[in-house]
Amino acid sequence: MKLESIFQYLNDYLQIDDHPDYPNALNGLQVEGPKEIAHVAVAVDASESAIVEAASRGADLLIVHHGLLWDGVEPLVGRHFRKIKRLIEGRVALYSCHLPLDSHAEVGNNILLAQALGLEIGGQFGTHQGVNVGWWGRKEEAVTGVALAAELEFVLKGPVRLVEGGAGLLESVGVLTGSGGSFIKEAVEMGLDALITGEAGHHSYFEATELGISVFLGGHYATETFGVKALGGHLKERFGLSWEFVEQPTGF
C-alpha cells in the first residue's frame, strides 16, 4: 500500500489536525520512507534501539507514540543524527501520534486500558487545551485499592504503585496513561474514586491523600503500549498489512 495513502488515512482516523498537543509532538509523518508499505512495526518510543530493531525486522513504516525532537528544533548531531540516519539507511518511514492516540475512542491508550480492567465506560475527562484526553468508567462491583492494584498489575504485567488516598471501596475510576498525575484535582472534582496513570510528581502524593482519591502508578511505558498495538491491528484488518510490536521497556 502507498505510504501517502496510509498516513492520510491515519491523519483522518486519528483526527490529527483537530487535536491539540504539546508544541513539539509533531503528530503525523515525521520522516519519509519508501513509497510502498508492506510491513509495519509499532513501538511506544522513537528510540534509536526501536528504530534499529524495526529496520532489522524489515519494516517499511514505524509507528510510535512518542516521536522525534521533543525538545524542539536541534542540530542533527549525535543521537539525533543517528536516528535519522538509521531511518533513511534502513528505508523506514516514521509516523508519530501522541495525544490523539491517548484519547481515541477505538484505539486509544486510555479507553483500551479502561476496558482491559473491565470498566463500564462512562465518558471522558482530563482536559488539555479544551479537549478531553482520558476516559473514566465504573467497576461492576466496587473493589478495594489493593484488589484494583492487583488487577492492574496483571493487565500491565508489571509492578504498580498505589497511593491509597481514598477511603473505602472504589467504583468510579479514571484512566489517563503516561504522565497523568496533573489531573488528580480534576478527577476529584468529577467525583471519581480513583485515578490510574503511569507516573506522577512528588507533590502528587500529598495532593491525592489530602483530596481523598486513590492513585495507581503503572509506569509511563507500560500504560502506553495499548494504542500502538491496537493501531497495528487496525491497519492489518483495514488494509491487510502485516505488523509487529517492538518491545522496548524503560522501567519508568
Domain count, the chain: 2
Question: Based on the domain organization, do 88 and 168 belong to the same domain?
Answer: no
Question: Based on the domain organization, do 63 and 30 belong to the same domain?
Answer: yes
**147 located within any domain:** yes
Query: 23: domain range?
Result: 3-97
Give the Å distances, CA to CA, from 197 to 110, 184, 187: 9, 10, 12
User: What is the C-alpha separation between 193 and 171, in angstroms, rounded?
Assistant: 6
**141 located within any domain:** yes
CATH code of 148's domain: 3.40.1390.30
Mean pLDDT, the chain cut into blocks of 10 residues (252 residues total): 96 96 94 97 98 98 95 89 97 98 98 98 96 97 97 98 92 97 96 98 97 98 98 97 97 94
Question: Based on the domain organization, do 67 and 122 belong to the same domain?
Answer: no
Q: What number of helices (H) and strands (E) belong to the chain?
A: 10, 11
Give the Å distances, CA to CA, from 215 to 30, 117, 162, 183, 218: 35, 15, 6, 11, 10
Closest CA to 45 of 68, 19, 23: 68
Among residues 97, 126, 149, which one ends one of the domains?
Answer: 97
Question: Based on the domain organization, do 114 and 210 belong to the same domain?
Answer: yes
Can you give the pTM of this predicted structure?
0.96
User: What is the C-alpha separation between 76 and 50, in angstroms, rounded?
Assistant: 19
